[in-house]
Amino acid sequence: MLLEKPLHKPVSDGATERTSASVNSSAMSTLLQAAETLGADIPHLLRDIGLEPSDLFDGDRRYPVAMLLDLYERVAQWTNTPDIGLYVGRIDYIGRLNLQLYACSACRTFREYLNVMPSVLKIVGDIGEVKVRREAQFLCLDWQPLAPETTAQRYLSDSSLGVAAAIVNSVCVRPIPVRAAHFSYAKPQDIRLLTQQFGENLLFDQPVSSLYFDLACLDYLLIGLDADWGQVLAQPIRHLFAEDSDSSEFIMALRKALLRLLPSGEMGVDKVAAALNISRRTLQRRLSEQGTQFLQVLQELRAELAQQYLGDERLSITDIAFLLGYMDQSSFSAAFRSWYGVSPRDFRKK
């Protein structure tokens, strides 16, 4: 069954509550990379929005969504590129490849992959979410912005659906082309790049921006990883589930179930019990017999996986936060500091 990922309200950032929507530094950096490629004056743009180039090297810093949207407008005008979001989507796709490989390593079919598909809210910030649904013979990916006023502008929907289309069409052995694309904004004068990205069947002024794929793709097999990548991705599994471990067979099964569910963020007791095909009461009773509790097993697994993932420089801190099921990078950083006394970034440096 497909998992429809819910929209989330902004969550706490360290000791203070984020009262306004924000995005991480990668959202700004990616947009500026696209702008530079198209000939924009980056120092000028940064001065206009009140930023220094060094600000973008702070991976823990967050920026108001309003600042991101302002920067989109400035870049679009400076470069005369109203479809700048499509360029950003292409860069995001490449930037998330390693994360996709890790997510794919826990799945066999596209149906399974959809349940751990990276969340925009976790990867970028508080701009919106891509939700999955079925409609007749189609599988649909809907862009649902957090701020309704952004529905009529195209930057966020173009970038989010652009990266979604690229990911969907690259993870399976069979291609998964877009069969139709709907957009909530008015038809632009020039739709050539939209056509290249999404095909000829485009509709505008629609209630929701959506991509349509053949429903049969749910059962397509994911691309298998080569031996080198397979060994890298299997390392945490070999380390955590070695035959000489002191853990019981039940705890091993529980940890494996958690490993599969972590990227989806769905690690509640009921969800895990269902994955193990037992009742909530049976799960809690068997944990009690082992002298442990659900949250203890979950946190121990996260702590061990965090060290493994930080050893792979191809994964960003944000990627690791997603793989471990955290809402955002700051939540993961706070948890990691409570385990090891240092931040993930400092741990990686050492």
Please, which pLDDT band fits residue 139 given cuts at 50, 70 and 90?
Answer: very high
The span from the CA of 147 to the CA of 127, in Å, is 7
Two structure tokens written together for 93: 């796709």
The span from the CA of 223 to the CA of 97, in Å, is 13
Instruction: Give the dihedral sign, CA 232/2/147/69.
Output: positive
Residue type, 216: A
Q: Any long-range contacts for 166-169 (C-beta under 8 Å, 24+ apart)?
A: 166/89, 166/90, 166/93, 167/93, 167/96, 167/100, 167/117, 168/110, 168/141, 168/211, 168/213, 168/217
- 302 neighbors 335 (Cβ within 8 angstroms): yes
The pair phi, psi for residue 63, each rounded to 5°, is: -130, 145
Instruction: Give the least confident one: 38-42, 156-160, 246-250, 317-321.
Output: 246-250
Higher pLDDT, 11 or 218: 218
**Residue length, the chain?**
350
For the chain, the structural domain boundaries read 1-223, 227-349
* pLDDT tens figures, 169-211: 998 999 999 999 999 999 999 999 999 999 999 999 999 999 9
Assess whether pLDDT exceeds 80 at residue 142. yes
- 250 neighbors 286 (Cβ within 8 angstroms): yes
Instruction: Give the least confident one: 122-131, 201-210, 216-225.
Output: 122-131
Architecture of the domain delimited by 1-223 = Alpha-Beta Complex (3.90)
The span from the CA of 47 to the CA of 174, in Å, is 46
**The predicted structure's pLDDT at residue 106:** 67
* pLDDT tens figures, 65-80: 999 999 999 999 999 9
Question: 251: Cβ–Cβ under 8 A, 6 or more apart, which residues?
Answer: 290, 292, 297
Cβ burial, residue 281 (10 Å; 0-12/13-18/19+) = exposed
Please, which pLDDT band fits residue 235 given cuts at 50, 70 and 90?
Answer: low
Q: Which CATH number fits domain 227-349: 3.60.9.10, 3.30.870.10, 2.30.29.30, 1.10.10.60?
A: 1.10.10.60
Higher pLDDT, 244 or 261: 261
**The predicted structure's pLDDT at residue 168:** 92
What proportion of the chain, given as a percentage, has pLDDT over 70? Answer: 85
Please, which pLDDT band fits residue 265 given cuts at 50, 70 and 90?
Answer: confident
**The predicted structure's pLDDT at residue 4:** 36
**The predicted structure's pLDDT at residue 349:** 84
Higher pLDDT, 198 or 318: 198
Cβ burial, residue 247 (10 Å; 0-12/13-18/19+) = middle
**The predicted structure's pLDDT at residue 166:** 92
Assess whether pLDDT exceeds 70 at residue 44. yes
Higher pLDDT, 36 or 149: 36
Please, which pLDDT band fits residue 7 given cuts at 50, 70 and 90?
Answer: very low
**The predicted structure's pLDDT at residue 62:** 86
Max Cα-Cα span within the chain: 67
Q: CA dist 73 to 62, 155, 197, Å?
A: 19, 9, 21
**The predicted structure's pLDDT at residue 281:** 92
Assess whether pLDDT exceeds 70 at residue 311. yes
The span from the CA of 30 to the CA of 46, in Å, is 14
DSSP 205: S
Assess whether pLDDT exceeds 50 at residue 51. yes
- 191 neighbors 202 (Cβ within 8 angstroms): yes
DSSP 60: T
**The predicted structure's pLDDT at residue 1:** 31
Higher pLDDT, 197 or 55: 197
Instruction: Give the dihedral sign, CA 136/119/104/154.
Output: positive
Question: 158: Cβ–Cβ under 8 A, 6 or more apart, which residues?
Answer: 83, 84, 85, 86, 88, 89, 194
Assess whether pLDDT exceeds 80 at residue 123. no
- 185 neighbors 46 (Cβ within 8 angstroms): no
What's the whole-number average pLDDT of the chain?
A: 83
The arithmetic mean of pLDDT across residues 226-232, rounded, is 51
**The predicted structure's pLDDT at residue 308:** 81
**The predicted structure's pLDDT at residue 2:** 37
In terms of Cα–Cα distance, which of 196, 223, 186 is closest to 89? 196
- 305 neighbors 234 (Cβ within 8 angstroms): no
